Structures are given as C-alpha cells and as structure tokens.
Amino acid sequence: MKIRPDQIEGVQPEQSHRKDRAKEPGQAFGDLLNQEVARGDAPAAAQGAAPPPIVNPLIAAGAVSNVRADATADRVTGQVESILDKWDNYAETLSDADAGLKSAYGALDDIAEEVAAINSEQPDLARSHPGLKAIVDELETLTAAERFKFNRGDYI
C-alpha cells in the first residue's frame, strides 16, 4: 500500500486537534492529580447521600416476639422427610440387582400412598404453607413420572 501526501494532509488536522484537547487546562492527568492533592486529606463526601448507619442485627433480637410453632407444618415436614427417606431406599433398591423389581415397585407404591395421604389430610396446605405444598406437589409429580417409567419398562 502506498502512502500519498494527500492522504497525510487529511489526518494532520485531526492529530493537531487531539493534541490541543490534551493540552486544555484541567484535563490532563497531572492537573487532576494536583487538584486532588491540593484539597488535602479530607475525604470527599457524597452529595445528597448519607452513609447508612451500622446496625448490629443481634442487638434488637430480644425485641422480637416469640414465634408460635405450627403443628400442621411440623407434621407435614415430618411426612415429607419420611417420603424423601423412602425415595433414597427406592433408589438403592433399583440399583441393587438382588432386590428385584417387585420390592422397588412396592416402595414406589408406599411413596405414592404417603403423598396421597398428605394431600387428603391437608386440603388447605396451599393457602397456609405454600412452600410445603410446592414440595408435596413436586413429590407427587416425581412419583407419577417414576411410576410411568416403571410401567413403560425402563428398568427391565
């Protein structure tokens, strides 16, 4: 590629404009640094904003009223934990070749019965404890999907 003089002339005004901008007072790094040093060691405060107060959350812990234990939530939580333990046993039964598919299907039936029992015993669980209801619904979905896989013959 050849460089022609007419191409250089178009670039020269642009370069001189850049040099002039860099020489403007107050714009160079050295000028900004000198201004900050001249201000001294006083930290610059944010305009219009105060720092948040430092609060230890443990100081006000005594002011909290006692929380009443909910027997329904405790009972459902215990049932869910029991179902999750049965899921672990079901997975071990499936992985054990000696246990057989009949015992695995029996464990799956037990899980389905317990999930159905929770849904029948606690019809208003979605209103009172939506988080627990979501877990129970997920367990019901997993049980139905696993039963479908079992009946389809995925484990034969």
Distance CA 124, CA 106 (A): 29
Which parts of the chain sit beneath pLDDT 70?
Answer: 1-27, 41-49, 51-69
- pTM value is 0.53
DSSP annotation of 60: G
- pLDDT tens digits along 2-34: 666 666 666 666 666 666 665 555 567 777 778
